[in-house]
Homo-oligomer: A and B are copies of this chain.
Amino acid sequence: MARGRKINSNGERSKQLLLEKAVELFSEKGYHDTKISDIVKAANVTQPTFYLYFESKDSLYNDLNKRFQRGFDEIMSKHSEEVVKGIEGLVRMLKQKIKMLFVYILENPKLTKIGLFESEQSVVVKSQLTQQFISLIHLHDCEHLLQSYCVDINVAVDSFVGSLERLILTTLLEQKKLPCELANELIHLYFLISFSRSAPPL
């Protein structure tokens, strides 16, 4: 049977297709239950074609994770506004970042499943996220507030990251709420109730 380049074929298109199908399958079935044969079948190419564009299954998976992290990090690391010290500034920045995060995630739901929930890299992503939140608190000089409420900052931030993670999974990715809505509710839950009062509890 005929071999060689398919009519109308185009390298970039094949690569793109493989990438899409890979993301889809990895996100649905996980790394181990997604076989290269599944991916190429879905992309309607043959196995060697896969190796034309990707070094290995592993390296593709890593690429996908890095790709997710790049978008993620961008949002978390660049502060688009100037920093206003104090709780209000923190809340505003958090709200903004989380909204951006949620938008990004909704734009890349499958990549998110991989990069935030399934891969081993996700562990790193989440602990980085934790660190970044801690940094933000320090940046806004808000440690003392937590202390005055007798809340361990690490516990608070871990809790927050956990909430974020779970709400992304159960509510955002399930499209039960809009990014903006959900971000507001999460922030409300953590900040507005408690910190809307003027004084700390005795």
Mark A residues whose CB is within 8 Å of B.
31-32, 126-127, 130, 149-152, 154-156, 158-167, 170-171, 176-177, 182, 185-186, 188-189, 192-194, 196-197, 201
- A–B Cβ pairs within 8 angstroms, 21 of them: A31-B32, A32-B32, A149-B193, A150-B188, A151-B185, A151-B193, A155-B167, A155-B171, A155-B177, A158-B166, A159-B163, A159-B166, A159-B167, A159-B189, A160-B163, A161-B166, A162-B163, A162-B165, A193-B194, A196-B201, A197-B201
Contact call B170/A158, Cβ cutoff below 8 A: yes
Complex Cα gap A176–B165 (Å): 21
Give chain B residues whose Cβ lies under 8 Å from the Cβ of A156. 189
A181 to B188, CA, bound (A): 25
Main secondary structure of the interface of A (DSSP, over half): helix
Bound Cα distance from A5 to B165, whole angstroms: 47
B residues less than 8 Å from A154 (CB atoms):
171, 176
Residues of B within 8 A of A165 (CB): 162, 165-166
Residues of B within 8 A of A171 (CB): 154-155, 158
* Chain B residues whose C-beta falls within 8 Å of the C-beta of A150 in the assembled complex: 188
Residues on B with C-beta less than 8 A from A188 are 150-151
- On chain B, the residues within 8 Å of A197 by CB distance are 197, 201
Q: Please measure, in the bound complex, the distance between the C-alpha atom of A156 and the C-alpha atom of B166, giving whole angstroms.
A: 11
CA gap between A29 and B126 in the complex, in Å = 19
Closest Cβ of chain B to A164, distance in Å, is 7
